[in-house]
Structure 1
Amino acid sequence: MNAPAATVRPRAKPRLIAGVDEAGRGPLAGPVAVAAVILNPRRRIEGLDDSKKLTEARREALFPLIQERALAWRIELVEVEEIDRINIFHATMTGMRRAVLALNPGADLVRVDGNRLPSGLPCAAQALVGGDALEPSIMAASILAKVARDRIMRGLHEQYPHYGFDQHKGYSTAAHLAALNAHGPCPQHRRSFAPVRIAEGQLALF
């Protein structure tokens, strides 16, 4: 009697995990940049890490590699006008949702750096505190977001050189606050942030 044929089970399709991270949530000026990345396990990218732990040169080198080798990636910018209209938290969540929805192929699971998740995602999602040090796809997203935003801020420096955007990228350093108080805000400053409102009010008194 012949032995029964072995059952061949189809290989389970690997889950597509999208990592999501942002850059520029805290600065007083410029957009917030959000990136979503689905990495390709067959095209490894050496040297991924939290973007804050990498040098600018290393981030710039990894940026095109991620774009070339990822299964899908997207960078969304939420501009100052929208940040001021809906506040920085909701602007960040909106950017995350837009980035994930724009991925093609779409994700089966989204992992977001932080402790909050945007609403309206098309699949299951997890919030990971410190995720940019744990999940490679979040590391890749953090690099795309950071490099994209830094390039924008260097461009804004060409338009508004007296603020020093190329140095502090819009963060509230002592030099930035001094320039803000001396010159008042430019169109790229976030009026919903207190230091900008104060500087604008002080300038109006003179």
Structure 2
Amino acid sequence: MQMSMIFAGGLVAGIDEVGRGPLFGDVVTAAVILDPNKPIAGLADSKKLSESRRERLYEQICVDAISYAIASASVAEIDELNILNATMLAMQRAIAALHIKPDYVMVDGNRCPQLNIPCEAVVGGDAKVEAISAASILAKVSRDRAMKTWALIYPGYGLEQHKGYPTVSHLQALRALGPTPLHRRSFAPVKKLLSDTLS
């Protein structure tokens, strides 16, 4: 894994998102500037870590990072802008919320948000760049915690288990209970359900 925290004598922020695929809830992004003097062992793509490991790393990142920020785009923004543009908006918000402005930004994926800072897209960056790995962990833990809270408000959908993704059990619950206000109406399974209900 690259130690991509310093670039041309300046600070590098890693950024990643969680929640592009679910039918429910916000898309969440995080931006992290790691401290090269406080290395964090075990950083990796959040999807490859256990929940307990992610939770421990989340706390350590929050303590040891030079700066970090977590941001989101709402379901309404996703439905209005589409998921790609809403994700880019959430990334812009995360960078803007950093209390220290980075000199360079590295983003997981193949597309950068529009920023007034030099930016590089890194395919598979959450497994290659430590700052992006850290961002993926903050975003994943934040969104998973939110899903557990929403599961208490909207019981019966299994949000605490599938985190809003279109699993068989989630689709069955949608058909039985109908969509909540936080289901993405622009996404095909929800749109079809609403269309079938109206027809």
- TM exceeding 0.5: yes
How many residues are paired up? 193
2:44: which partner in 1?
49
Q: Which residues of 2 match residues 156-167 of structure 1 at below 5 A?
A: 156-167=150-161
Confirm or deny: 8 A CA contact 2:34 2:64 kept in the other structure.
yes
CA distance in 2, matches of 1:110, 1:130: 15
Q: Which residues of 2 match residues 49-198 of structure 1 at below 5 A?
A: 49-119=44-114, 121-198=115-192
Pairwise CA RMSD of aligned residues?
A: 1.3
Q: Deviations over 1:148-187 (max 9, x none)?
A: 0000011110011111000100000000011111111001
Confirm or deny: 8 A CA contact 2:46 2:136 kept in the other structure.
yes
Provide the secondary structure at the position in 1 that maps to 2:20: coil
TM-score under structure 1 length normalisation: 0.91
Provide the secondary structure at the position in 2 that maps to 1:126: strand
Q: Deviations over 1:66-122 (max 9, x none)?
A: 011000100002111111111110000001111112212111110000000111x12
CA distance in 1, matches of 2:119, 2:14: 10
TM-score under structure 2 length normalisation: 0.94
Confirm or deny: 8 A CA contact 1:184 1:203 kept in the other structure.
no
CA distance in 1, matches of 2:57, 2:196: 43
Confirm or deny: 8 A CA contact 1:80 1:188 kept in the other structure.
yes
Q: Give the deviation of 1:202 after TM superposition.
A: 2.3
Aligned identity (percent) is 53
Q: Give the deviation of 1:123 after TM superposition.
A: 1.2
Confirm or deny: 8 A CA contact 1:101 1:122 kept in the other structure.
no
**Larger gyration radius, structure 1 or structure 2:** 1
CA distance in 2, matches of 1:68, 1:166: 27
Q: Give the deviation of 1:13 after TM superposition.
A: 7.5
Provide the secondary structure at the position in 1 that maps to 2:161: helix
List 4+ stretches of structure 1 deviating above 6 A: none
Unmatched tracts of structure 1, length 5 or more = 1-11
